[in-house]
Amino acid sequence: MRVEPYNVEESIKPWSVFISLLAPCKGKVTLVLSLAASISLTELLSVYLLFLSIQTLLSPLPSTVDKLTWIVLGLVGAILIKSALSMAAYYFSHQVALKALTELRLMLVNCFAALSQKCLSKHQPEELKHVLIDDVKKLEDVISQHSVELVQAVISCLAIVIALYLIDWRLALSIVTVVSIARISSSLFMSKMASYQAKVNDAETELNSTFSDYVKYAPLTKVHDLDSQYFATLGNKADNYHDAAHRFVEQVALNRVLCSALLGSSFIFMLPTAIWLHSAELLTLEHVLLSMLLVMSMVVPILSVHHLLEEFSGLQDSIRRITPWYGNQYSLQKSAPQAIDLKYPQLQFYNVGFNYKQHAILKNVHFELRPHAINVVFAGAGYGKSTLAMLASGLISPSSGRVQLFGKDVSELSDSERINYMGVVTQESYLFEGSVRDNILLGRSGVSTAALEHAVVASQLKPWLQQQTNGLETQLQTRGDNLSRREKLLIAIARALINAPPLVIIDDADLAMDNYSHAKFYQALKGHYPNTTFLVFTCTYLGLENGQQINVLHNGEVISQGTHEVLLARCDYYAKGWQLQRSEGTQSSTLSTSQTPQASYEH
């Protein structure tokens, strides 16, 4: 037999992963395999019983009826045993699959958890999700269902060939010849098909992405009368795909035909051989009939082996995606451990630069935080504010220079070190489905009610909570979809404040101050957490008059530092913005003061 699955599996490297996946449940795997083997044997038994009944017809004896009755019973028994065995086989195979793959998933999840923040930034969440859900699911289907079917089919084929060999070796030879010819011819076409397949896949992805783009840009293109142009490209892509598919399909048709026709027509070799053997009186008529029955019952397993092998080879991609994670490659390599040394400044930027696709976002950012104070980084929108915030919290590492916390590179901090030394509020703070309390605590135990209350008050979350009927027990939707961005940010701030870390980094803080007195926001932070150093990123001037250390970031550089008054005198950029903000503020406030009395007068 040329159709041996394990040869295929071992020759390609991903299969070693596959096998090692199943290694922990070796006992059950062998059980499943032996069950599958016995299923095919009982299947053979029922064929043999059918043959026996034919035999009684060929040589009628008075006792035939009794014998037939026994055969009926035997057949029923065989079918029942077969079903019971397959049920058991499926049960165990499902167990094996689910156990192995739940473990795989857990391992992957653990592996992701062990990733450093730097590695994590490199991988898209979608990519990780795809590995964890879709790829593993595919593996699960294959192990739980197809593996049993495959083994069963292969053993059936083998058993039938052996049975034929026992009848006469020439019969077995004729069958093996047919099957090998079929395999060889189809594999000849397979190699050619692969390139066509690749072309079709390319055309398809291109078509799909063009289609998504078309839909995505539809508002833009329609308004600017470019729709027909884009649509023409889409049509071209569809035509390309059609052409590629057309050529591919012709090949597939050829392959299918050869394979199924050759496999199905095992008779063409078998029947003449049998007739010849019979005429040469090497074979009795009964044996000829038996061999025919055997050959007929072989067609189904051979075809299913063919299909299942295709399924198995489709698995390779999934396994290939899992492989890099499997080896636990990504476990943290500790490079030259720098110790945290309190004599160094708390957080310091040394000539930090950051490039994104050759576009320099930050250049020579150099400053250190003033301890136990509010440090503000003031920057216009799109001038590298978020990048600097991510650098400060170690989510990314700088292209040049260093960001150090007590003398240790921030991006090298372990999770437990980071939580000891800083609380971070990122722009997209993830909120879970659950209560506000759970979201703030984030599973941390041993937080006193007082500490929670403290954080809630300091983060300005209190007034909002008082409006909610359920207070802290208010339920949130996934990603906090039922909240405004401000409320989400406030929860995230409370989350970061709760264990009173020595350093708190807040990105996009102006959002938290929307509709609220800005000065009060800073005062609350300072008043409730006097020993904490804050690094706050903002783009509004409101509330900055109260003597914080302000670093002005403009075009990726820190152009000036100092308190509000100093900057007004020293930094033109800062002063200009301040003037603009003030004029707008006075404009609206004068209007409102002049209008409000009038309104009340009318009532």
Partner 1 sequence: MDRQTITSIFRVFKHVEEGKKRYVNGVLFRVVAGCLSISPLVLCFYWLYSELRTTSDENVLFMSLSGYLIVLVGLFFMQLVCAYLGYSQSFIASSQIIHAYRVKLINHIKILPLGQINQTPNTEFAKQINQDIKTVEHGLTHIVPNLLAVFIPTVLGVAILALISPLYTLGVCLSVMSALYVMRIAKNKFAQMTKEKALSDNQISRTVTDYIEALRVLKLFSQSCHWLARVEKQLKINKHHSLQMGLWQSSSALAYRIALNMIVVLFVAMLAVTRPEQSVLTIDFEAIIYALLLMQILCPLYGIDKQFRALRTAVQSEQNLESWLGKPTLTEPVKAHMPKRYSIKFERVSYSNGIDQGIEHASFYVPENSVTAIVGEVGDDTSILLKLCSRFVEPASGHIKIGGVDIKDIGSQGVFSMLSMVLQNAQLIDASVMDNIRIAKPDASNEDVLQACEQANCLEFINQLPNGATTQVGDKSIRLSAHQRQRIAIARAFLKNAPIVLLDETTTSFDPITHNDVASATTRLMKNRTVVIVTHHLSNIIHADNILVINEGKLVESGTHRCLLSIGGYYTRLWRAQSRAA
Residue 4 Cβ vs partner 1, minimum distance, rounded to whole Å: 22
Among 87, 166, 184, 188, binds partner 1 (CB under 8 A): 87
Q: Which stretch binds partner 1 (CB under 8 A): 25-33, 246-254, 313-321, 560-568?
A: 246-254
Beta-strand pair 503-506/549-554: unpaired
Rounded Cα gap, residues 274 and 114, in angstroms: 66
Nearer to partner 1, 247 or 366 (CB): 247
Letter string b/e over residues 497-522, b meaning 16 or more CB atoms within 10 A of that residue's CB: bbebbbbbbbbbbbbbbeeeebeebb
What's the token pair of residue 225?
């009368």
**Using rule CB under 8 A, residue 144 touches partner 1:** yes
85 within 8 A of 34, measured Cβ to Cβ: no
Nearer to partner 1, 158 or 293 (CB): 293
Residue whose C-alpha is closest to residue 553's, from 368, 369, 397, 381:
381
**Using rule CB under 8 A, residue 599 touches partner 1:** yes
Q: Which stretch binds partner 1 (CB under 8 A): 27-35, 160-168, 422-430, 462-470?
A: 422-430
**In 3-state terms, what secondary structure has residue 393?**
coil
Segment (H or E) for 359: strand 359-368
Rounded Cα gap, residues 501 and 19, in angstroms: 47
β partners of residue 425: 506
Among 26, 224, 366, 520, binds partner 1 (CB under 8 A): 224
Nearer to partner 1, 7 or 593 (CB): 593
Residue 301 Cβ vs partner 1, minimum distance, rounded to whole Å: 10
Nearer to partner 1, 369 or 511 (CB): 511
Residue whose C-alpha is closest to residue 174's, from 47, 31, 70, 276:
276
List the interface residues with partner 1, window 261-300 (CB under 8 A).
261, 264-265, 267-268, 271-272, 275-276, 278-279, 285, 289, 292-293, 296-297, 299-300
Among 16, 211, 453, 468, binds partner 1 (CB under 8 A): 211
Residue 242 Cβ vs partner 1, minimum distance, rounded to whole Å: 4
Rounded Cα gap, residues 338 and 240, in angstroms: 57
Amino acid making up residue 267: F
Rounded Cα gap, residues 340 and 117, in angstroms: 19
15 within 8 A of 171, measured Cβ to Cβ: no
Among 7, 11, 122, 125, binds partner 1 (CB under 8 A): 125
Per-position x/- string for 7-26, each x denoting binding to partner 1 as judged by CB under 8 A, each - no binding? --------------------
Among 48, 112, 189, 350, binds partner 1 (CB under 8 A): 112
Per-position x/- string for 515-534, each x denoting binding to partner 1 as judged by CB under 8 A, each - no binding? xx------------------
**Using rule CB under 8 A, residue 201 touches partner 1:** no
Backbone angles phi, psi at 414, to 5 degrees: -80, 165
Residue 11 Cβ vs partner 1, minimum distance, rounded to whole Å: 28
Among 254, 451, 524, 559, binds partner 1 (CB under 8 A): 254
Per-position x/- string for 571-590, each x denoting binding to partner 1 as judged by CB under 8 A, each - no binding? --x--xxx-xx--xx-xxx-
Residue whose C-alpha is closest to residue 551's, from 350, 365, 355:
365
**Using rule CB under 8 A, residue 158 touches partner 1:** no
Give the 3-state DSSP-derived string for 441-482, with helices as H, strands as E and coil as C. HCCCCCCCHHHHHHHHHHCCCHHHHHHCCCHHHCEECHHHCC
**In 3-state terms, what secondary structure has residue 562?**
strand
List the interface residues with partner 1, window 47-86 (CB under 8 A).
47, 49-50, 53-54, 57-58, 60, 62, 64-65, 68-69, 71-72, 75-76, 79, 83, 86
Among 376, 379, 476, 509, binds partner 1 (CB under 8 A): 379
Residue 405 Cβ vs partner 1, minimum distance, rounded to whole Å: 14
Instruction: Return the number of other C-beta atoms located less than 10 Å from residue 491's C-beta.
Output: 24
